[in-house]
Structure 1
């Protein structure tokens, strides 16, 4: 198994894409720390991994709280793989966007990701290897009315990916992003993802398994010469 002996941290790992990433990493042999705010969903994810023969544990963290992020970084100090998946979205027209929603999206999608990576990536660098995979979105590169703040947070993630690839690359740490298209998850209504899916070149939405497969590939030894990339996994929507 390609992740045998490796440790991974998946933020927002109790549902959706994050949960599937955690499952696939564990299937590949990684010992996975699953984090999120919901302990019940965390326990269910850990149980699913263990039932499949994998190793996992849950650590509760609130990504809006920097103290909680710091505790998470201490708990995950020696991980070999960091998947920054935790994120929130609120689609609203620009003139109707609230300050509270604006601040929350930047706190979770940018600030928490930034300081968690700032704590963990240098430790990877000291060991001479590691992989960070950030979860972005197609909205960061195409126009989706109503997504202004969410898209801006993910454009920041893409920029951080490039900068961190430069900062940590000579120390053996790779940093990449996956940019999903419309994906059916618990928080994404079928009608919405179907409508967006119809605009892709493949004329359908993605499954969480398809997005997770790309994340796991970038984290794996199969991708050792890929860094600084934002990989679109969007059914061709970015070029449609």
Structure 2
């Protein structure tokens, strides 16, 4: 996913969804679809995670929002005015096992557990050809975009098994075949493998494991930056190559919207998708990744 934080490259972008908009329903809503369902969402303070929470809150779900930013608590407070379900929030560093454990414990304390876990955290930090990545940068990318999901799923799974079932939705990326972000691509390839392999292992325990693979997505400027952003003409050129490839690989020749990303995630999380597991659904305007 590429977000509109990089407005100096993208030019004029829609401002997208801000905290003041959360009381307004999304343009597409299935009323009551998540009534009685508790949903844990990571990366929920902004971007796709916030759009997912927005949709589920307006479909009567109980939501537990997790992010590394303290902003997540203000978002949760706003959602208390929206949903007839419960609302809770926690900050956690999901690049660590301890952070993932604390997230699950906090969700149990707030909502007495969860039925669905949606793991959104991840994203490219740097954009450049692979030979220009320092070893420490490669490790940082893998921690951000693979270990956040790996640790989260490992922490979430026992709760779902113990209660007799549930659903895990991971957010991957079609950038597994993208340019200038090899460590991120490798990380998201790992998320795809995790999803497919765990689906086989978890199905006998009545746990579904699925994923979406977003393409480029328009989003407001981030509250917490992923990385330093491109500096200098060469780095801007490398990042522009990502933008160009993303648009060209879409049959619609455009970026997607937050609602277009949230809709398939929320469908896969719902009981309507009860016979789907192990699948990774590309959501990139025809780019299959």
Question: Is the TM value for this pair above 0.5?
Answer: yes
Q: C-alpha offsets along residues 28-78 of structure 1, whole Å, 9 cap, x if unaligned?
A: 222111111211x21332234233235422201112333222211222342
> Counterpart of 2:252?
202
Q: C-alpha offsets along residues 162-221 of structure 1, whole Å, 9 cap, x if unaligned?
A: 1110111111110001000110123589x8657623431122210011101100000001
CA distance in 2, matches of 1:152, 1:84: 17
Aligned pairs, how many?
A: 235
Of residues 162, 167, 170 in structure 2, which corresponds to 1:131? 167
The answer to whether structure 1 residue 45 and structure 2 residue 75 are counterparts is yes
CA distance in 2, matches of 1:50, 1:73: 20
> Counterpart of 1:173?
207
> Counterpart of 1:108?
144
The answer to whether structure 1 residue 5 and structure 2 residue 31 are counterparts is no
Moved more, 177-186 or 68-77: 68-77
Q: For structure 1, which runs of at least 5 residues remain unmatched after alignment? A: none
Alpha carbons 1:42, 1:58 under 8 Å: kept: yes
**Cα pair distance change 1:195/1:92, threshold 3 Å:** closer
Moved more, 229-238 or 180-189: 180-189
CA distance in 1, matches of 2:135, 2:220: 26
Q: For structure 2, which runs of at least 5 residues remain unmatched after alignment? A: 1-31, 223-228, 230-239
> Counterpart of 2:118?
83
Which consecutive segments of 4 or more residues in structure 1 shift more than 3 A?
Answer: 186-189, 191-195
CA distance in 1, matches of 2:45, 2:243: 20
Deviation at 1:88, TM superposition (A): 2.9
Summarize the alignment of residues 7-46 of structure 1 with structure 2, pairs less than 5 Å apart: 7-39=38-70, 41-46=71-76
CA distance in 2, matches of 1:145, 1:118: 30
Deviation at 1:137, TM superposition (A): 0.4
Which structure has the bigger radius of gyration? Answer: 2
Secondary structure of 1:237's partner? coil
**Cα pair distance change 1:146/1:194, threshold 3 Å:** closer
Alpha carbons 1:194, 1:205 under 8 Å: kept: no
Secondary structure of 1:73's partner? helix
Higher RCO structure (Cα 8 Å, ≥6 apart): 2
CA distance in 2, matches of 1:116, 1:181: 22
